[in-house]
Amino acid sequence: MKISKIACSTLLGAIIATGAFADANKEKQDYLTIKDVKDNIVKEVKAFKDSLKSVDAGSYLFKNYSSKFPKDFYDDKGNPSLKELHSHATKLTEYFDVINKDKKGVFIPKNGKDTCKDNTNDCLFAIDVKKNEVYLDGEKIAELEGNRIVFKGGDDKPLGKYKKTNKPLDESSYLKLQDFINKEVKKIADKYAEEALKKDNFKDADKKLLTEAIVTANELNNNEAQTVSSLLNVKDDKKLSGIIEEDYDAEDIAMLGKVLNKSLEDITSGFNNIDTIDAIISNTGLATNSRLAKLSNPLNDDLALAYAIKNLSDNKFADNADTLSSVVKEYTNRFNYDSNLWGNIMGGKAKLKSQANTNTYGFMLGYDKAFDNMIIGGYAGYTNAKSSSNTLTTKSDNYHFGAYTRMYIDQNEIDAKVSYGKGKNKLDRKVTTNPDFDANGKYNTKFFDASIDYGHIFDTNNNSFMKPMIGLEYSHVSTKGFKETGKVPVSFKGTTVKTLSAKAAVEFRKYIANGNFLYITPGIQKELRKSMKDTELAFVNSTENIKYASKKDKHTFFTLKTGAEMKLTDNLSTNINFGVKAKSESKYYNGTVGLSYKF
């Protein structure tokens, strides 16, 4: 009978595939066993030693004991202590076989440093394949019969002799044993992962177990492990399967997981740290503080009267005091800073230890009006923000508006501010190890901020004032969920961050002739309450999610605001302001330059 070439090729392929599948199953079983060893080796050794103490050394059954007997050989009622010993001995036999998988022997020194291969008395644990002996704490406990480890009882057998001493092991010895097993787990996990990632095995591999093996072999942290799990569990994605089967081994996937996780952590950190929103709030605060300081100038009425007298000096009036007084008063009102249009350009920089720095720039336009015991104003603005690193670039266009007011009650000042804004954001995520995993996305952010401050004015001297002040600030920032675009995109769920802060500061104001002034306000800001949920995301079509634990640490910031205003003409002034908000790992710098026109 003749067999065609096609049939031969098909048969050969089937044989190879069957062999590969068998290899994968063998490595999988070894990994499952070594996992059990890792979790239970210390517990089993302790239980083995304890049960050995309970066995009657003079009993017929112990003198003829062998771990080769079946697991259910001993009757629980007839000799429970020996049955318990037998269960632990057979389990240790299974464990030791996996530890000595390559059949070359195992030697764990007591001191954890020197080799004990030539002197097993110095071994915490040893399998000497040349002598066919197994040692625990320098004493022989079992023998090798072929490749099989066997425990035997009796006065002249290893287990019987060991029972006579059975010295307790200290915890440091168990730690050394556990450390050795942990290293063995990494080796066997790596072998299983390599086999499971082969082209004919990956599709049907247990992805959860494969992920665990890659994580174990490469010591990935929890977030990196979640990223690898979500990636490997993307369903029905031929592109992803093709990339992994052709180009990736276990170490490559672990490195890919680290790189992907870093970029995803950076994105979610931006959602939660809201540095762009902080910069916007700080800049608007600087601009409005400058306006409030200007309109609170106690010299404004004197300046207005002086300007009125100067402009009326060439006019003649009838000798009527009431008429002259009314004319001067009416004319003086023209020089009060009742209504003002103002504008500022602003910039800022956030220097962050854990992520890329953020740069901002933009502008604001506003209007305010002074009444007898109140100031009311409003503004609208635009801020552009950008941060960039090797793996992530984010850009945003932010539109915001707000209102502010100050009320005077004797020597007390009460300030209130509210602002609202919306940001349109773009991100560009790069994976340096493989551009197939690059992605980009668009998402929206909304924010609301409200604050109230109370301060008491102290007139020091020479038109200088000091105002101790306290306040509260509440911010609410929400990021809408979105999906990236790319070959292997990620889907992000929305996030919300709510923060309540307390503030304390001292403002120093100095007013100079002609309407010029300067101020400086050092202070602290303490977060009292912070609310946010864990950030959830996943690769699109993956059955496994990634969840990053939210960092709800409440921080304390040092704050500093300072600025000055200078008159250019009777109606036009310029101002410059600078601010800092800082803690140990984050520093926000911002500044504004502006013009104001009174009418």
Q: Which of 24-28, 415-419, 497-501, 561-565 has the lowest mean pLDDT?
A: 24-28
Return d(Cα 112, Cα 377) in angstroms, integer. 73
**Segment 272-318, tens digit of pLDDT:** 777 788 888 888 888 898 888 888 876 655 444 444 455 545 555 54
Spell out where 371-516 has E strands.
374-388, 392-409, 412-429, 439-456, 458-459, 464-479, 482-483, 485-486, 490-492, 495-511
Q: pLDDT class for 454, splitting at 50, 70, 90?
A: very high
In one-letter notation, the amino acid at residue 498 is K
Q: What is the pLDDT of residue 75?
A: 65
The domain ranges of the chain are 26-180, 188-268, 269-297+337-598
pLDDT higher than 60, residue 212: yes
Note the pLDDT tens digit of each residue in 481-492. Answer: 999 999 899 999
Q: What share of the chain in percent tops pLDDT 90?
A: 52
Phi, psi of 502 (to 5 degrees): -110, 145
Asked if residue 94 lies in contact with residue 44, where contact means CB atoms within 8 angstroms, the answer is no
With bands split at pLDDT 50, 70 and 90, how would you rate the model's confidence at 22? Answer: low
Q: Which residues pair with 359 in a beta bridge?
A: 349, 386
424: tokens are 């349109």
Tell me the pLDDT tens digit for each residue of 389-434. Answer: 888 899 999 999 999 999 999 999 999 999 999 999 999 999 888 8
How far apart are the C-alpha atoms of 183 and 34, rounded to whole Å?
11
pLDDT of residue 7: 46
Q: CB of 150 within 8 A of CB of 67?
A: yes
The pair of three-digit structure tokens given for residue 507, joined into one six-digit string: 């403002």
Looking at residue 3, what is its pLDDT?
46
> Which candidate, 384, 383, 391, places its Cα nearest to that of 355?
391
According to the model, what pLDDT value does residue 313 have?
Answer: 52
Task: Report the phi/psi class of residue 250: left, alpha or beta, with left for phi > 0 and alpha for psi in -120 to 50.
Answer: alpha
How far, in Å, are 149, 420, 541 from residue 141 at the CA level?
10, 75, 53
Angstrom distance (rounded) from CA 295 to CA 293: 6
- pLDDT > 70 in the chain, percent: 88
Identify the CA nearest to 267 among candidates 80, 481, 93, 471. Answer: 481
What CATH code would you report for 269-297+337-598?
2.40.128.130
Q: What is the pLDDT of residues 120-132, one digit of tens each?
A: 888 999 999 999 9
Alpha-carbon distance of 428 to 439, in angstroms, equals 6
Strands 490-492 and 535-539: antiparallel
At residue 296, the pLDDT reads 81
pLDDT at 451: 96
**Residue 598, helix vs strand vs coil:** strand
Q: Terminal CA-to-CA distance of the chain, rounded, Å?
A: 109
pLDDT at 327: 43
Range in 65-69, 100-104, 343-347, 493-497 the model is least confident about? 100-104
The stretch 558-562 carries a mean pLDDT of 94
Q: What is the mean pLDDT of the chain?
A: 85
109 CA to centre of own chain: 40
Mean pLDDT lowest for which of 107-116, 257-266, 445-454? 107-116
